[in-house]
Every structure is written in C-alpha cells, then in structure tokens.
Structure 1
Amino acid sequence: MTETTAHLVDPRELISPEIREKISTTVRAQHPQITEDRADAGIGQMAAFLTACATSDRPLSPSPEVDDYWHAFLMHTEDYDTWCADRFGKKVHHKPGYLDPEEHGGGKMLRQYAVDTITELGFLVDPDFWPEIELAECSQCHANCSDSPLTPES
C-alpha cells in the first residue's frame, strides 16, 4: 500500500523574487521590526489570499497583517495590475467596507472563509498571519499544527 501526501504549495512561489523584494522593502520601511523572513512569509500569505479572492464567489477578509502586505503591493500599482492580469485575467480590487454580519457572518467568519479557501487551493497556511482563527481545531491534518489541543502529549 502506498501512502500519498498532499503536496502543499508555498504561496511565496506565486510572486517573483523581484516583486517580493519591492513589497518587502515597502512593508519593512513602514514596520522596521519586521524581519526579512517574516516579510517574505507575509507576502506569501497575501498572495494566497489574493488567489482565494480571485477564485471565490463569496466575500473574504484578510487578517490585519495580511492586509498590510496587500496595501504595500497596491503601492506598486503597475506591478500589482500586471500580476493580477497575468495570474487571474482581472484585477482583485481592494474594497474595504462593512458587510452585514447577518448575511456574511462577520469579520472572523470572512477570515475563516479565506483560510478555508486558501487551504482548498492547496497553499500552505501560516497560522502566525491568521491569529484569531482557531487553526488548531481545524480538520486539516496538513495545516502544520504543532500545538493542537487534540494531539496527545508525547
């Protein structure tokens, strides 16, 4: 019997190193405490989120930190527009605003939808960038959880 493991894609692969460097420089100029490694990981989570937005038929919401990376990418308008056009054939518009919690479930639910969609698309989800989501209680055994309350202690 052969065991198969789902191949999860590192979402940083969605954006070229040159564009990642521009976004990283912008984010780190605004938030000097962010390391290069953290910025690179955040850019990946933002790229996965944008891919989820482009493919979802429901509204999604980024975490506040992922939104910071999106804002930094938007500051490089030509790169952002070209990336969206090449990847999705359309622009993913940033539309901040209020969505009725009765209709959409509220911000936390919209972020959970985002994480679920990112996971369904096969991208790695970094729980550090989605702090209010209870990732340890998810049903995805491949979510790289190490502190799940459901895992017995060794």
Structure 2
Amino acid sequence: MSDTTTVALTTDPRGLISPEVTELILTTYRANHPDVPEVRALVGVGQMAAFLMACATSDRPLSPSPEVDDHWHAFVLNTEAYAGWCTAQFGKMVHHKPGFLDPAEHGGGKVLRQRAVDVIAALGFLLEDTFWPEIELANCSQCHANCSDSPFTGK
C-alpha cells in the first residue's frame, strides 16, 4: 500500500474575468490609483472577482477589504461590463450596498471580511494576503481545509 498525499488545488481568480473586461477595470482603477503598480492592480482584479463570487454564493453579508472595494468600484463604474459579467456568472446582479451593518447583529467590518476570506477559500480561490491586511492568513497553500496551520480550523 502506497502513502498518498492529497493536495488541495486553488484557482487563480483572475481567470474569472475576460482580458477585455479586465483591461476596462484596470484602466478605471489606475486612473484613480496611478501609484499602484500594474501587477498589483491586476492581482486586485482577481481578489475582487473572488470576493464577488463569494458574495453571490453566501447567504450572509460579507465585506471587502478597502483595496478590494476600490477594484469593485472600478468595475461597477463600467456598468455594461459589470452587469454583463454578473448576469453571465450568476444570472443576477451582485449589488454594491455601501453602508454599515449593525455590529451587534453582523459582527462588524473585520468579522465580515473574515467571513469573506473564509468563503473565498472554501470556493478554492487563491488569496493574496496583502489584499486582506486585517486577516491572518495561513502561510501555506491557502486551502484552509483541515490544514494544521490554517487560522480557520481552530487548531
């Protein structure tokens, strides 16, 4: 009998958005954030896409990090592309609802962002820790599924 190790694969969320739509988002984002390197802005598009996938699949409120939110704003401003992407991905819009939820009921911003990271990880997307600075991400494969180093298993 051989010893087999199971490796959790993760998906780069940048592949969720076409190159043409990514370019629209990047152009809008970089107009407002010209000091952000292009490579970082591109990674941000992926983190935003993963966050939107989490929003579409979660029945609980989630919150993006400020930097992910800036990417979302850049996408929303391209209304046709955003509406088309949401419809193609989810069959509905993922609406941006700014505002504050009652912390007593929902846990506050950090809790909502942690929940977002948990859902993104459960969906199998790569997480870039510098886009989620309040959240302590594991320095491993980001699988968060029975990983002894994962901050999400309580081990």
Q: Taking structure 1 as the reference length, what is the TM-score of the superposition?
A: 0.88
Distance 2:6 2:136 in 1: 26
Distance 2:15 2:118 in 1: 19
**Pairing of 1:4-153 with structure 2 (within 5 A):** 4-136=6-138, 141-143=140-142
In the TM superposition, residue 36 of structure 1 has moved relative to its aligned partner by 1.2
The Cα offsets for residues 135-154 of structure 1, whole Å up to 9 and x where unpaired, read as 24xxx84229xxx8x9xxxx
In the TM superposition, residue 46 of structure 1 has moved relative to its aligned partner by 0.2
Distance 2:76 2:124 in 1: 25
Distance 1:134 1:3 in 2: 26
Distance 2:100 2:46 in 1: 26
Distance 2:4 2:26 in 1: 41
Q: Aligned AA for 1:29?
A: A
Q: Aligned AA for 2:30?
A: R
In the TM superposition, residue 29 of structure 1 has moved relative to its aligned partner by 1.0
Q: Aligned AA for 2:141?
A: H
Distance 2:58 2:49 in 1: 14
Q: Aligned AA for 1:142?
A: S
Distance 1:7 1:124 in 2: 9
Count of residue pairs the alignment pairs up: 143
**Any stretches of 5+ residues in structure 2 without a counterpart?**
144-148
Secondary structure class of the residue paired with 2:34: coil
Identity of aligned residues (%): 66
The Cα offsets for residues 33-57 of structure 1, whole Å up to 9 and x where unpaired, read as 1111101100000000000000000
Distance 2:80 2:100 in 1: 28
In the TM superposition, residue 133 of structure 1 has moved relative to its aligned partner by 0.8
**Any stretches of 5+ residues in structure 1 without a counterpart?**
none
Distance 1:24 1:2 in 2: 42
Secondary structure class of the residue paired with 1:135: coil
